[in-house]
C-alpha cells in the first residue's frame, strides 16, 4: 500500500472516531441533557461531589469540553460558585481519562452488538428518548470500530522510512512534540480522540512510550484550550471556569514536562507496554490536577474574575454596539439586507426567551430571590428588542419590497409578537407561581414534579425546533414541530388526569399544590402553542396546512 493510501485510510478512521464521539455526546445531550442539568446544579455546590459528578458526566458525554461549557454557564448564572465549578471540570477531565482507559480494552465483540441493537432501537420507534438511546449505542459501536480501523490503517506504517525520522526528531525535541500535540488536540476538538490515536500507534510500536507521554501532556493542554476558545463569545462570568481549567492544565502540564525531562522516571512502574504507560500517565496526570486544583481553585477563579472585571468594557457601550450591529440603519434602503439584519436580531430574542424558558423550571425546583429578579429583568430585554425590531421593520420602504419580502416582514413581526407573549407568560404567570411556592413553602409530589419536568422538557425541545424553523424555514422541521404539538397535547391530558387521580386519593401535597400544578400545565401548553404557530407560515407555503389542522396526507 502506498504512503498516500495509508494516510487516506488513517484519515478516514480518525474522522469516524471524531464522528462517533460526537454521536454519543449529542445523543446523551438530546435525551438526558435537561435532566442532567437539573440534577447536577445542586451536586456541583459540594466540591467533592462536584469532582465525582463531573467525572460521571464526562464519561456519559465522552467530552470534558462539553462539561466545561455547561458548568461555565452554571457559574455565569450564579447557580454554582466558580471555584466549585472549576473543581467539577477537573473531575470531568479525570472522567475523560477513564474513558480512554475503558476504550483501550479489547471491545471488538461489543461493536457489532452495539451497532445492531442501536440501529434496531432507532428504527423501531419514533419516541425521541428511545431514538437517542439507539443513537448512543450506534455511536459507541462506531467508536470501537474506528479504533480497529486506526489499528489496521497504521499497520503499514511499520515499514515506513519517513515515520522513524519524524518520531526520532520529536523524541529529541519534547517541547516541539508538546506543542504539536496541543495544536493537534485543538484541531481534533477532542482530547479523547487524540490520546486514543497516540495509544493505538504506541500499541503497534510506532510511537515510543517517552514520546507518547509528552504527546499526552500536550493533549491535556490542548483539551483545556478547546473549551477556552469555544467560550470566548460567552459572558465574562461564564468564561471563568473554562479559562481557570486552561490555567491549571497549562501549569500542570509544564511542571510534568519538566519533571519528565529532568528526572527521566522509570515508566515500567505504571504499565507493561507503551500503550498502557501512555494511558496510565494520562489518568495519573488528571488525578494530580484534581488534587492540585481543589485547594487552588478559589485563588485561580478570583484572579481571573478580577482580570475580566478590569478588562471589561462599560456595559452600556457593549449593549449599544450589539444593537447597532444587528439593526443597521444604513441597510434600510435594501429590504433584503434589512430583513437579514432583523433575522439576526430575532435570533437574539430567541436566545433570551430560551434562557428564560430553561431557567424558569429550575426556579420551581429551587426558588431564590436573586435568580427570580434576574429572570424578570430578561423580560424587559425582550420587550426592548421587540420594540427596536418593530420600529426597524416599519422604516423599511414598502415600495422597495417585493411580495416575498413583504411576507417575510409580516412573518418576522408576528414571530416577535409571539416571542414577547412567551416571555410575558413566563414572567407574569409562571414566575408568580414560583413566588407563591416560595412564600408558602410548598413542594410538589415526586410524581407531580416528574410530570411537570417531562412536560417542560418537551416544550423546551419544541422551542428549539421553533427557533430553527424561524431561521431556516425548513418544511420538514416545521412539520415535525406541528406534530410535536399534537404529542404534547396528549402528554398534557395524561398529566392532568394523573394529577386528578392523586387528588381523588387525597394526597396532601397534591391538594396543597393543585392550583400551581394545573396553572403550570396550562402555561406550558400555551407557550407550546405560541411556538408551534411559528411553523404555520412555512407549512402554508408548502400547501400542507388545512384550515385548522394538518391535511390527512401529511400526518
Tell me which CATH homologous superfamily contains domain 319-554.
Phosphate transport system protein phou homolog 2; domain 2 (1.20.58.220)
Cβ–Cβ < 8 Å for 92, 105: no
pLDDT over 90 (residue 393): no
Q: Looking at 388-472, which runs of residues are DSSP E strands?
A: none
Is the torsion defined by CA of 72, 74, 76, 78 positive or negative? negative
For the chain, the average pLDDT equals 80
- Phi and psi at 359, nearest 5°, equal -80, -25
One DSSP character per residue, 12-45 reads HHHHHHHHHHHHHHHHHHHHHHHHHHHHHHHHTT
> What average pLDDT does range 468-477 have in this prediction?
84
The predicted-structure confidence for 123-172, as pLDDT tens digits, reads as follows 888 777 788 888 888 988 888 888 778 767 766 766 667 777 888 888 88
Compute CA distances 450 → 219, 447, 499, whole Å: 41, 5, 11
Cβ–Cβ < 8 Å for 324, 426: no
> What average pLDDT does range 548-554 have in this prediction?
52
Instruction: Please name which of 271, 260, 252, 158 lies closest in space to residue 210, comparing C-alpha atoms.
Output: 260
The pLDDT value given to residue 320:
39
What one-character DSSP code corresponds to residue 402? -
Write out the residue limits of the CATH 1.20.58.220 domain(s) in the chain. 319-554
- Phi and psi at 198, nearest 5°, equal -60, -45
> What average pLDDT does range 86-108 have in this prediction?
85
> What average pLDDT does range 80-109 have in this prediction?
84
**What is the band of 5 on the pLDDT scale with cuts at 50, 70, 90?**
confident
The pLDDT value given to residue 323:
44
The predicted-structure confidence for 254-294, as pLDDT tens digits, reads as follows 999 998 888 877 877 888 888 889 999 999 999 999 998 88
pLDDT over 80 (residue 368): no
The pLDDT value given to residue 555:
44
pLDDT cut 90: percent of the chain above it: 10
For residues 390 and 397, give the distance between their C-alpha atoms in angstroms, rounded to a whole number: 14
Cβ–Cβ < 8 Å for 41, 362: yes
- Phi and psi at 550, nearest 5°, equal -65, 145
Q: Which residue has the higher pLDDT, 280 or 368?
A: 280
- pTM metric for this prediction: 0.56
Instruction: Please name which of 243, 241, 247, 197 lies closest in space to residue 219, comparing C-alpha atoms.
Output: 197
C-alpha cell at 438: 416560595
For residues 100 and 96, give the distance between their C-alpha atoms in angstroms, rounded to a whole number: 7
Amino acid at each position: 500500500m502506498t504512503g498516500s493510501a495509508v494516510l487516506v485510510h488513517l484519515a478516514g478512521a480518525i474522522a469516524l472516531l471524531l464522528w462517533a464521539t460526537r454521536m454519543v455526546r449529542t445523543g446523551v445531550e438530546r435525551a438526558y441533557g435537561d435532566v442532567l442539568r437539573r440534577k447536577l446544579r445542586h451536586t456541583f455546590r459540594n466540591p467533592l461531589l462536584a469532582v465525582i459528578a463531573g467525572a460521571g458526566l464526562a464519561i456519559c458525554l465522552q467530552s470534558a469540553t462539553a462539561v466545561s461549557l455547561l458548568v461555565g454557564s452554571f457559574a455565569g448564572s450564579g447557580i454554582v460558585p466558580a471555584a466549585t465549578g472549576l473543581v467539577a471540570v477537573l473531575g470531568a477531565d479525570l472522567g475523560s481519562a477513564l474513558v480512554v482507559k475503558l476504550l483501550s480494552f479489547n471491545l471488538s465483540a461489543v461493536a457489532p452488538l452495539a451497532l445492531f441493537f442501536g440501529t434496531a432501537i432507532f428504527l423501531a420507534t419514533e419516541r425521541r428518548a428511545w431514538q437517542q438511546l439507539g443513537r448512543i449505542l450506534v455511536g459507541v459501536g462506531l467508536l470501537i470500530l474506528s479504533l480497529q480501523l486506526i489499528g489496521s490503517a497504521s499497520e503499514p506504517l511499520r515499514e515506513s522510512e519517513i515515520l522513524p525520522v519524524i518520531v526520532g526528531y520529536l523524541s529529541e525535541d519534547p517541547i516541539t512534540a508538546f506543542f504539536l500535540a496541543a495544536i493537534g488536540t485543538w484541531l481534533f476538538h477532542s482530547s479523547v480522540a487524540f490520546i486514543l490515536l497516540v495509544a493505538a500507534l504506541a500499541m503497534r510500536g510506532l510511537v515510543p512510550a517517552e514520546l507518547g507521554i509528552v504527546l499526552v501532556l500536550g493533549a491535556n493542554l490542548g483539551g483545556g484550550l478547546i473549551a477556552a476558545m469555544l467560550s470566548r463569545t460567552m459572558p465574562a462570568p461564564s468564561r471563568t471556569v473554562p479559562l481557570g481549567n486552561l490555567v491549571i492544565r497549562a501549569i500542570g502540564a509544564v511542571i510534568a514536562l519538566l519533571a519528565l525531562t529532568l528526572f527521566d522516571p522509570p515508566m515500567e512502574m505504571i504499565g507493561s507496554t507503551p500503550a498502557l504507560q501512555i494511558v496510565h500517565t494520562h489518568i495519573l496526570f488528571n488525578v494530580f490536577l484534581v488534587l492540585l486544583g481543589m485547594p487552588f481553585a478559589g485563588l485561580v477563579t478570583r484572579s481571573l474574575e478580577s482580570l475580566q472585571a478590569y478588562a471589561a468594557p462599560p456595559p452600556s457601550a457593549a449593549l449599544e454596539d450589539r444593537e447597532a450591529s444587528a439593526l443597521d440603519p444604513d441597510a434600510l434602503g435594501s429590504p433584503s439586507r434589512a430583513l437579514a439584519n432583523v433575522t439576526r436580531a430575532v435570533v437574539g430574542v430567541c436566545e433570551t426567551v430560551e434562557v428564560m424558558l430553561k431557567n424558569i423550571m429550575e426556579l420551581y425546583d429551587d426558588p431564590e430571590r436573586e435568580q427570580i429578579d434576574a429572570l424578570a429583568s430578561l423580560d424587559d430585554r425582550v420587550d426592548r428588542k421587540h420594540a427596536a425590531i418593530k420600529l426597524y421593520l416599519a422604516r423599511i420602504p414598502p415600495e422597495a419590497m417585493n411580495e416575498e419580502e413583504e411576507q417575510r416582514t409580516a412573518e418576522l413581526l408576528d414571530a416577535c409578537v409571539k416571542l414577547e407573549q412567551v416571555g410575558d407568560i413566563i414572567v407574569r404567570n409562571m414566575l408568580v407561581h414560583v413566588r407563591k411556592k416560595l412564600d408558602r413553602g410548598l413542594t410538589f409530589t415526586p410524581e407531580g414534579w416528574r410530570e411537570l419536568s417531562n412536560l417542560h422538557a418537551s416544550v423546551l425541545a419544541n422551542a428549539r425546533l421553533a427557533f430553527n424553523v424561524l431561521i431556516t424555514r425548513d418544511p420538514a422541521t416545521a412539520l415535525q414541530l406541528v406534530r410535536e404539538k399534537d404529542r404534547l397535547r396528549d402528554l398534557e391530558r395524561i398529566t392532568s388526569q394523573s394529577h386528578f387521580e392523586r387528588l381523588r386519593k387525597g394526597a396532601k401535597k397534591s391538594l396543597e399544590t393543585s392550583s400551581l400544578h394545573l396553572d403550570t400545565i396550562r402555561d406550558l401548553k400555551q407557550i407550546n402553542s405560541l411556538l408551534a404557530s411559528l411553523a404555520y407560515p412555512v407549512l402554508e407555503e408548502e400547501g400542507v396546512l388545512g384550515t385548522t389542522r394538518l391535511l390527512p396526507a401529511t400526518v
